Amino acid sequence: MGRGSADAGYYRSSAILLGTHDRDSRYGRMAYARASPEGIRALHTLQAHVDNSGLEHGLLELVKMRASRMNGCAYCLDMLSKDA
């Protein structure tokens, strides 16, 4: 059983807990902005602060890559490696 099927089970159980209206039916993913708009605003505020921190863009991308590697997200690593 691949990782994708485990992710699908997670998203299904999340939808059960949060209600089906919290899912983005186009992609089968949880719609985080609908589930927690204040959480998304906080993440955007944090990202704006990091973007304006004066750190080099390449360094920030490497930090994101390291976090993705620690989280085991191959998709994220692939996307971030194209940006770095």
Residue 30 near residue 22, CB atoms below 8 Å: yes
Mind spelling out the 3-state secondary structure of the chain?
Answer: CCHHHHHHHHHHHHHHHHCHHHEECCCCEECHHHHCHHHHHHHHHHHHHHHCCCCCHHHHHHHHHHHHHHHCCHHHHHHHHHHC
pTM: predicted TM-score of the whole model, two decimal places = 0.54
For the chain, what percent of residues have pLDDT higher than 70? 64
Q: Which residue has the higher pLDDT, 19 or 35?
A: 35
User: How confident is the model over 44-55, as pLDDT tens digits?
Assistant: 999 999 999 999
